[in-house]
Amino acid sequence: MQQTGSQILFTALKEEKVDTLFGYPGGCVMDIYDELFRQDIRHILVRHEQGAIHAADGYARASGRVGVCLVTSGPGATNTVTGIANAYMDSIPVVVLTGQVPTAMIGNDAFQEVDITGITRTCTKHNFLVRQIGDLHGTIREAFQIARSGRPGPVLVDLPKDVIQSVMETDRPATALPPEEAPCPDLEGLCSEALKLLVKAKKPLIIVGGGVILGKASEEVRTFARKFQIPVVSTLMGLGAFPASDPLWTGMLGMHGAYYANMAVSQCDVLMAVGVRFDDRATSKVDAFAPHAKIIHIDIDPVSIDKIIRTDISIVSHCVSALKTLLRLSDVQELRRPEGHLHAWRNRIHQWKAEMPLSYCRNRNIKPQYVVEKLHQLTQGRAIIATEVGQNQMWAAQFYRFNEPNTFLTSGGLGAMGFGLPAAIGAQVACPDRTVVDVAGDGSIQMNIQELGTIAHYGLPVKIVILNNLYLGMIRQWQELFYGRRYSQSDVIQVLDFVKLAEAYGIKGLRATKPNQVKRVLQEGLETPGPVVMDFHVEPEENVFPMVKPGTPLSEMAFGNVRTAVA
């Protein structure tokens, strides 16, 4: 039968089981939108293309599926670049469909033309410009395959208008897809060696990262850790991979990690890192990282191995295969850790936890940490939490104890403010029956504030918690600690009435200005059906602690007005 490019596109999307597009129309995609009118795929109309890409990203993080966004050429495409770079840094599978000027006009500086494949070449896993209709179906299928396979990532497909408008005969069978990656050679041998180290270890530690969540390996990690009674710490991106309610949970490590987590890393003798890329926020001073430990590194991407930290045993593998092999071999060899080894290390960690838990001082103002704690309590720790970037992000990571994967959506690698609100939209669309909360600062919530329109349009019951301190908080903290309290451009003097703003969008707005109002406002916000904006006026100059100054070892943390500890 004869099909237009638009029809072929939707056929391919259906074959990929895509149920939602996040997008915004424009000149070069009018034919696609015309065809959409006849199709029954859900389309969420955002208010800025950056909202579309972050929403597709949030959808992917919450569901484990590939997120899809559709934007037009020129400014539509360039508006997605931040979101694409964000997905690239955190390895999130999204397919970005961009309109393009007709092929004959490419390179002539046409109206709304940009070389988006050139611009995104280094921040996509791969990208395509479809030059003829015969390539369209195969390219779309290949784009999805690339996005979700191996180490996932964003794939952009640029669709010239004439290709979309042209017609071809399509009785051909579905295209064969490139084969899946080859498994790790000598997986058994490497896992055997790793087991030898772990069984002998007196102070073993597991670090989980974003790779465990992307690889859907939480269950295997739990089984393995519990079998050998090995404590577990997590990077920011790994939160939720291992339950915070488990006795083996030892917190988040890194620049704003817990004292006991950073101490455990600094003192351990065997470190098994699963799905971790040893980013500088997690490791701090590289040559002081885990100085006493033999390191086992399991990652699907060979680029991550020995990139920053020298490893003793490196296993390039999907983490589920590696963990399953480790479990199987340990059963076959009947391996157990000696009883004597278990207790001393466990007690040491308990001691550190008692010495310096994550804490804050209460006073007459609302403490932002208190808001997050109450939020955790009132949602039983089961909400999906999206964050913005900065202090709000760190307090959410520290105080909302995550138990499940795919529930903490945060811009880790890129640190893009404005991510949280549209990501929460994507998550709510993916998981309509879950409570979805965006934890934001008063600065970052304004970066994509227009997406309140999207929330109102679709009645998405997203709850927005604004930790409002009238500062660009993390910047102000650094200026206080390292720049002699010179608050250059970090104090936001203009007071924005978030309640009125919410109501202008037809969304309920609530405000708390005193600690005894926090629980009531949260309760009302969470229990009211539909979207709610909650404005919490928090302590203006509260700092995130612990803090490891860049370039110093993880064991040298600052604690604010409590004490400075050196291991």
Partner 1 sequence: MPTQLKERAIAVIVNNRPDVLARIAGTFSARGFNIESISANITRNPAVTKIIITTLTTQDTIAKVIKQLNRLVDVLEAKRLRRPQAVRREMIIARLPRTKERQAAIQELIGNRGGKVVNEESNAVILEFTGDKEELEEVLTRLEALGMEDFARTGIIALERGKS
Binding footprint of partner 1 on the chain (CB under 8 A): 117-118, 121-122, 125-126, 129, 146, 301-303, 307
Select 179 or 338, whichever has its Cβ closest to partner 1.
Answer: 179
> Are the CB atoms for 157 and 143 separated by under 8 Å?
yes
557 is catalytic: no
Q: What are the angstrom distances between the C-alpha of 527 and each of 375, 379, 407, 435?
A: 12, 10, 20, 10
Nearest distance in Å: CB 151, partner 1: 8
DSSP labels, 21-41: EEE---GGGHHHHHHHTTS--
Catalytic residue (choose from 125, 161, 203, 374):
161
Q: How far apart (Å, rounded) are the C-alpha atoms in residues 268 and 291?
A: 8
393 is catalytic: no
Nearest distance in Å: CB 305, partner 1: 8
7 is catalytic: no
List the structure tokens of 296: 């086992």
Q: How far apart (Å, rounded) are the C-alpha atoms in residues 451 and 423?
A: 10
Nearest distance in Å: CB 560, partner 1: 37
Nearest distance in Å: CB 153, partner 1: 10
To the nearest 10°, report the CA torsion of 213, 219, 222, 223: -150
In the 8-state DSSP scheme, what is residue 448? T
Q: Which amino acid, 532?
A: V
Q: How far apart (Å, rounded) are the C-alpha atoms in residues 544 and 395?
A: 7
> Are the CB atoms for 425 and 462 separated by under 8 Å?
yes
Checking DSSP bridges between strand 556-558 and strand 564-566, what pairing results, if any?
Answer: antiparallel
Catalytic residue (choose from 112, 165, 229, 450):
112
Select 126 or 227, whichever has its Cβ closest to partner 1.
Answer: 126
Select 135 or 404, whichever has its Cβ closest to partner 1.
Answer: 135
Select 125 or 376, whichever has its Cβ closest to partner 1.
Answer: 125
Catalytic residue (choose from 237, 263, 417, 474):
474
Closest-CA residue to 391 (of 366, 354, 417):
417
Tell me the Cα Rg of the chain.
Answer: 24
Q: At what angle do helices 391-399 and 368-378 cross, to 10 degrees?
A: 40
Q: How far apart (Å, rounded) are the C-alpha atoms in residues 58 and 427?
A: 5
Catalytic residue (choose from 14, 111, 307, 541):
111
Q: Which residues pair with 45 in a beta bridge?
A: 23
Q: How far apart (Å, rounded) are the C-alpha atoms in residues 117 and 107?
A: 12
Q: How far apart (Å, rounded) are the C-alpha atoms in residues 227 and 352?
A: 23
Select 41 or 303, whichever has its Cβ closest to partner 1.
Answer: 303
Select 155 or 313, whichever has its Cβ closest to partner 1.
Answer: 155
The H-or-E segment that residue 43 falls in is strand 42-45
Q: How far apart (Å, rounded) are the C-alpha atoms in residues 5 and 72?
A: 16
Q: How far apart (Å, rounded) are the C-alpha atoms in residues 475 and 421?
A: 21
Q: Is the dihedral of CA 473, 405, 147, 40 positive or negative?
A: negative
242 is catalytic: no
Q: How far apart (Å, rounded) are the C-alpha atoms in residues 482 and 556?
A: 16
112 is catalytic: yes
| Phi–psi pair at 559, nearest 5 degrees | -120, 15
> Are the CB atoms for 538 and 469 separated by under 8 Å?
yes
> Are the CB atoms for 25 and 152 separated by under 8 Å?
no
Select 105 or 329, whichever has its Cβ closest to partner 1.
Answer: 105
Catalytic residue (choose from 3, 7, 10, 49):
49
**Which residues does the annotation mark as catalytic?**
49, 111-112, 161, 474
